[in-house]
Amino acid sequence: MIRLYDTALSTVTPLETREAGKVSMYVCGPTVYGPPHLGHGRFSLVFDILRRYLIWSGNKVSYVSNITDIDDKILQRAAQEGRDWTEVAQEYEQVWYSAMDALGVLRPDHDPHATQYVEQMVQLIADLIEQDAAYVTPDGVYLSVDRVPGYGLLARQSLDEMLIGGGDRVILGEGNKHHPADFVLWKFAKPNEPAWPSPWGPGRPGWHTECVVMSLDLLGDGFDLHGGGMDLAFPHHENERAQAVAIGRPFAGHWMHNGFVEVGGEKMSKSLNNFTTLVDLIASHDPRAYRLVVLGSHYRSPVEVTDSTITAAENALHRLDSLARRVAEVAPAEPEPAAIAAFQQQMDNDLDTPATYAQIFGLVTEINRALDTRDEQGSAGPLVAAWRQILGAVGLEVFGQAQQAPAEILALASQRDQARAAKEWAQADSLRDEIHAAGWVAEDSPTGTQVRQA
RNA sequence: GGCGACGUGGCCGAGUGGUUAGGCAGAGGCCUGCAAAGCCUUGCACAGGGGUUCGAUUCCCCUCGUCGCCUCCA
C-alpha cells in the first residue's frame, strides 16, 4: 500500500484503509465567493493525482469534496454587489468547476453543499451541547476546546503553547467565549442575513461544522483520508476533529496536507495581492502546464508558480507532444515491466511525483533514441506503452494528433513542397516564414511538410 | 513569544554519506539544402563557520537569511 506523510503523526506511514482495496477520501473544497486562484489549483491537482494513482493501483476510490456555499465572505460579496448571496455562490461554483475541468481534475464522486446539510449540522451541535462540549452565548454557539482530549494534534502544539504567543492578535468574539481558542458552531443571524432555524435561534452554521457532518455522512466513521492545503491543518481540520472527538465518533484515519504556491518566496494570498486566478492561467497558458509543474515538485514542498515557470513547463510539454506525434503509429505492446515497477515504487513512497516526472522525460529520451535507430524499433513498443500508462495514471494528457491546419496553411505547405522539389530554397524558406507568421510551425518529414500549431 | 519548514548550478526543482536527478534557458557537435524535431557532448551546484568521518551537499552544533502556522485562508 502507498505510504504517505501523516500530519497527525509527523511521519510517513502506510495508508491503512478500513477495507482492503477501497479508499475513502475527503478533500476540503472551496468557499465559492470569488474565482479560485493558483493555490486552489495546486491542492486540486495534488489530490487528483493521488486519486488517479490510487485508482490505477487497483483501488476503488470514493472521493468527496465539498462546496462551501454559505459563508461570511459570500454574504459580504453579495452585499457589495447588491445581489442575492445564492446567486454569488452559484456563479462561483460554476467558475470553480469549469476551471477544474480545464485542469483535467476529475469531478468528485460527491460534492456536498453546506446549505444542504444545515439540519444535520444543527443536530450535531445539539449533540455537542448535550455532551457539555458546546455552549450558547448571545452571538452564537461555541465549542469548548478544553473539553476535547488531544486538541492541538494537527497544530503540533498544545492549547497552552498556542496561547502563549500570538498575543497581540485580536481574539474574535472574545467577550463571549469561555476560552480564547473556542470556535463558533452556529452564528445567530443579524438583520437581513440568511437564517435557518435552530433550537437556539435562527442563524447559520460556522465553517468548521460542515465538513465533519458531510464527511461522516457520506464516508462514514473512521474514513480513510482527509486532505487539504497546509493552512487548513489548523484551525479548520483541528476543529473538525475536535467536534468528532467530542461526540465520540472516529474521524479521519490519515491526514494529508499540501504545501503552498509561492511567488517570489512568499505564499500566494489575497492579502499580499500576489495571486493569479486559475481563470487567468487557463486563458493565457496550456492548462496542462500547471499539472506538469505540480508533478515536478513534491506535494509538501512550496512551489514557485509564475509566468516564467509556467512558460517553462509549456515548453517542456512540447517535448512530450512531439514524442506523442512521433509514436502515434507505434504498434501497441505490453508495457515495459521495469518502468511500471519503478513508477509504482516511487509513487508509493509518499507520492514521489518528481521522480515520476524525471522518469517521464527519461522515457522520452529512451524512446526517441530507439526510434532513431531503425533496428531498435522493436524495443520502442513496450517503452511507449509504459510511457502512456504512466502519463495516464497521473492524468497528464499528451496530444499525438497534430491539430488540423486551416486550408490556407495547408496550401502554403504544399507550395513549399513544390518549391523544395524544384530546389528553390529561397522560395521554400519564405513560405515557411509565412506559415510561421500565421502561428504554425513547418517541419520536414519523409511525407512532405508537416505543420503543427506553434 | 511558541511550533514548523527551508536556503542546491542563469531559472524552476529532486535527491544522496563516496558514483548522472529531471525540466527550462545557454554553448558545441551530428542530422538537414537551410531549419525544426531528435540524438550526443557540455556547465569546478549544494548559504556561511565549526565538528563527526578515510570521505559531507547529505549527520551534529552555531551563525546569517527566507518563509509558513499560531486569526479568515488551499
For residues A305 and A293, the answer to whether their CB atoms sit within 8 Å is yes
> Is the pLDDT reported for residue A168 higher than 60?
no
Which one-letter amino acid corresponds to residue A133?
A
- Confirm whether any atom of chain B, the nucleic acid strand, is less than 7 Å from CB of A262: yes
Starting at the edge strand that comes first in sequence, how are the strands of the sheet with A303-304 ordered? A266-267, A261-263, A303-304
The span from the CA of A430 to the CA of A427, in Å, is: 5
Query: Higher confidence at residue A79 or residue A270?
Result: A79
**Of the candidates A254, A206, A211, A258, which has an alpha carbon nearest to the alpha carbon of residue A231?**
A258
Q: Is the CB of A428 under 7 A from strand B?
A: yes
Rounded to whole angstroms, the distance from the CA of residue A435 to the C1' of nucleotide B47 is 49
Residue A183's closest CA among A230, A229, A226, A147?
A: A147
**What pLDDT was estimated at residue A83?**
94
What mean pLDDT is predicted for residues A379-389?
94
Q: What is the pLDDT of residues A80-90, one digit of tens each?
A: 999 999 999 99
Residue A47 has pLDDT above 60, yes or no: yes
Asked whether residue A266's C-beta has any atom of DNA/RNA strand B within 7 A, the reply is yes
Q: Identify the top-confidence range among A3-17, A59-73, A143-157, A255-269.
A: A59-73
Q: Which cell goes with A422? A: 524544384
Average pLDDT, chain A: 92
Average pLDDT over residues A94-116: 97
Residues lying close to strand B (Cβ under 7 A), chosen from 285-304 of chain A, are 293, 296-298, 301-304
Tens of pLDDT, residue by residue over A196-232, are: 999 999 999 999 999 999 999 999 999 999 999 999 9
| A326 beta carbon to strand B: under 7 Å | yes
Domain A320-393 class, CATH top level: mainly alpha
- pLDDT at residue A3 tops 70: yes
Q: How is A214-270 classified by DSSP, letter by letter?
A: HHHHHH-TT-SEEEEEGGGIIIIIHHHHHHHHHTT----SEEEEE--EEETTEE--T
Q: What is the DSSP letter of A116?
A: G
User: Could you tell me the pTM of the whole model?
Assistant: 0.95
The reported pLDDT for the residue numbered A220 is 97
Whether any strand B atom is under 7 angstroms from the Cβ of A363: the reply reads: no
pLDDT digits (tens, 9 = 90+) for A333-371: 999 999 999 999 999 999 999 999 999 999 999 999 999
**Confidence category of residue A167, pLDDT binned at 50, 70, 90:** very low
Q: CA-to-CA distance for A379 and A368, rounded, in angstroms?
A: 11
Across residues A73-101, what is the average pLDDT? 96
Domain range annotation of chain A = 3-262, 320-393, 407-453
Angle at A259 between CA A218 and CA A271, to 5 degrees: 100
Q: Which CATH number fits domain A3-262: 3.40.50.620, 3.40.50.300, 3.60.15.10, 3.40.50.920?
A: 3.40.50.620
Give yes or no for a contact between A363 and A16, defined as CB atoms under 8 angstroms apart: no
Between A446 and A75, the more confident residue is A75
Helix H or strand E encompassing A304:
strand A303-304
* Identity of residue A428: A
* For residues A169-183, average pLDDT: 73
